[in-house]
């Protein structure tokens, strides 16, 4: 039976009905954000790599790209006035291998960021190098220009494995690179390792971990190998020519490496990122923006951006990118509008990639308690020993970090598991590769 309706002598002129006292800074102030700048050049294409990367490009082509990149950065606020300007907390030059550009080019790009955005004091500014691209001249120049953090892709200290993965360097150049970085005073350094590479044994892996520890970087990243379509490794896998250790050996490799890192004082800040608190304040402030799905603007080919309920990615092709910038057209290629439910799942999944999600931040962002939305999933993850449910946060257990990719699956919906429709593009999820 329907409720009896009466004409109420009460109208409404707004909704909701509860307002708070005005705080200018909080209400109208600029938001904090991070910038990502993609440099798509490398000296060789590694056999495992799926990043948007171009090899054998001339100096002239690199310069053409740098010019368009500066144009894109400088133009963004006027081309997209609906987006707030951000106060920048972190800038990340990633790639590819940004360290391959000349010092002058790197400084010009950083200057353009500084001229376009207001940069917070103490802004973290990271640049990625491969070991061979670290020279004394460049390390000094970028240090003086204000870069605060250097990340070096190492992958392994075994020259055979490096060669077989088509890496452009040897173990010796890794040692030389870190000596140079130390000489110019870079203390906030990160060193990337990959496990497993084809033929990697436990002994060789732990030797690499020990050599990495002896170089005393502030951070070490332990990347589990992802096999992406289009890479040489994927090609070999399909032909039955990729010999990888089985999944349980992979777990042993991760576990042994984490034991070694923790016994030297490193702590986990993501499923693969470890920081030594005596050497750096944070693992990577930029990656906090990236994983916690805070405002992030990406520039350059294939870069990704996130703001509130919107995600977007730039075109991948170098020529397409250059033509669009020259024509004054947007360089955005793909977008996603998230529903509130998707945004909440994204915050959980990506937050757990960075080990934990704060209940207070969740409440502030969405206006509902985390447990009222995800209570069931949290309960199952706790029961499976993958998650700890504390008063202020949920955080991955050691088992949860080891099996991080399984944890995210708990949050996927049936809709997420369906293939893309004709109007959509499958994006950002690698093929499931089992080697057992």
Ligand X SMILES: C[S@@+](CC[C@H](N)C(=O)[O-])C[C@H]1O[C@@H](n2cnc3c(N)ncnc32)[C@H](O)[C@@H]1O
356 contributes a contact to ligand SF4 by CB under 6 A: no
Q: Which is nearer to ligand X, 95 or 298 (CB)?
A: 95
Taking CB within 5 to 8 Å according to partner kind, which of ligand X, ligand SF4, none is near residue 223? Answer: ligand X
Q: Which is nearer to ligand X, 50 or 63 (CB)?
A: 50
Handedness of CA 315, 320, 323, 329 (dihedral sign): negative
Taking CB within 5 to 8 Å according to partner kind, which of ligand SF4, ligand X, none is near residue 45? Answer: ligand SF4
Compose the 121-160 pattern: x for residues touching ligand SF4 by CB under 6 A, - for all others. ---------x----------------------x-------
Q: Pick from 35, 39, 46, 73 the residue near ligand SF4 by CB under 6 A.
A: 46
250 contributes a contact to ligand SF4 by CB under 6 A: no
Smallest separation (angstroms) from ligand X to the CB of 194 = 5
97 contributes a contact to ligand SF4 by CB under 6 A: yes
| Residues near ligand SF4 (CB under 6 A), total | 11
Q: Which is nearer to ligand SF4, 232 or 260 (CB)?
A: 232
Determine the Cα–Cα distance for residues 2 and 184; give it in Å rounded to an integer.
77
53 contributes a contact to ligand SF4 by CB under 6 A: yes
366 contributes a contact to ligand SF4 by CB under 6 A: no
* DSSP conformational letter for 287: H
Taking CB within 5 to 8 Å according to partner kind, which of ligand SF4, ligand X, none is near residue 194? Answer: ligand X
Q: Which residues bind ligand X (CB under 6 A)?
A: 42, 48-51, 94-97, 128, 130, 153, 155, 192, 194, 223, 225-226, 228
- Do β-strands 393-396 and 304-307 pair in parallel, antiparallel, or remain unpaired? unpaired
Comparing CA positions, the residue from 118, 405, 124 lying closest to residue 288 is: 124
Determine the Cα–Cα distance for residues 80 and 6; give it in Å rounded to an integer.
48
Take residue 58 and report the two structure tokens written for it.
């001339």
Take residue 286 and report the two structure tokens written for it.
């930029």
Take residue 120 and report the two structure tokens written for it.
């917070």
Take residue 340 and report the two structure tokens written for it.
């509130």
Determine the Cα–Cα distance for residues 431 and 419; give it in Å rounded to an integer.
13
Q: 3-class SS at 54?
A: strand
Give, in order, the Cα–Cα distances in Å from 143 to each of 16, 42, 49, 150, 284.
Answer: 50, 22, 28, 9, 17
Q: Binding residues for ligand SF4, per CB under 6 A?
A: 42, 45-46, 49, 51, 53, 95-97, 130, 153
């Amino acid at each position: 039976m329907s409720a009896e309706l009466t004409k109420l002598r009460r109208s409404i002129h707004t909704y909701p009905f509860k307002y708070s006292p005005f705080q200018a800074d909080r209400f109208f102030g600029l938001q904090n954000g991070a910038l990502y700048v993609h440099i798509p050049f490398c000296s060789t294409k590694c056999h495992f790599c799926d990043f948007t990367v171009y090899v054998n490009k001339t100096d002239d082509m690199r310069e053409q790209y740098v010019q368009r990149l500066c144009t894109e950065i400088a133009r963004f606020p006027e081309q997209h006035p609906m987006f707030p300007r951000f106060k920048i907390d972190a800038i990340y030059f990633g790639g590819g291998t940004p360290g391959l550009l000349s010092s002058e080019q790197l400084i010009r790009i950083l200057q353009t960021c500084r001229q376009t955005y207001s940069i917070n004091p103490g802004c973290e500014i990271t640049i990625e190098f491969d070991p061979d691209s670290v020279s004394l001249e460049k390390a000094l120049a970028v240090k003086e220009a204000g870069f605060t953090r250097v990340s070096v892709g190492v992958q392994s200290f075994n020259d055979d494995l490096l060669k077989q993965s088509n890496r452009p360097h040897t173990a010796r150049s890794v040692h030389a690179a870190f000596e140079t970085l130390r000489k110019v005073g870079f203390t906030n350094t990160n060193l990337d390792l990959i496990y497993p590479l084809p033929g990697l044994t436990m002994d060789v892996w732990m030797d690499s971990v020990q050599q990495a520890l002896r170089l005393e970087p502030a951070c070490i990243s332990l990347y589990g190998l992802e096999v992406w379509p289009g890479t040489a490794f994927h090609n070999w896998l399909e032909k039955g020519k990729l010999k990888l250790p089985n999944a349980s050996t992979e777990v042993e490799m991760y576990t042994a490496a984490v034991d070694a890192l923790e016994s030297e004082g490193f702590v986990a800040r993501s499923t693969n990122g470890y920081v030594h608190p005596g050497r750096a304040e944070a693992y990577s402030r930029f990656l906090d923006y990236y994983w916690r799905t805070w405002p992030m603007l990406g520039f350059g080919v294939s870069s990704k951006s996130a703001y509130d309920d919107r995600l977007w990615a730039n075109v991948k092709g170098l020529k397409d990118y250059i033509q669009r910038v020259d024509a004054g057209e947007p360089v955005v290629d793909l977008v996603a509008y998230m529903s509130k439910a998707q945004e909440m799942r994204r915050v959980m999944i990506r937050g757990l990639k960075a080990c934990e999600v704060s209940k207070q931040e969740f409440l502030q962002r969405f206006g509902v308690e985390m447990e009222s939305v995800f209570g069931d999933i949290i309960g199952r993850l706790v029961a499976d020993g993958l998650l700890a449910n504390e008063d202020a946060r949920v955080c991955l257990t050691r088992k949860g970090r080891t099996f991080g990719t399984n944890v995210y699956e708990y949050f996927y919906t049936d809709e997420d598991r369906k293939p893309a429709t004709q109007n959509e593009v499958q994006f950002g999820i690698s093929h499931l590769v089992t080697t057992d």
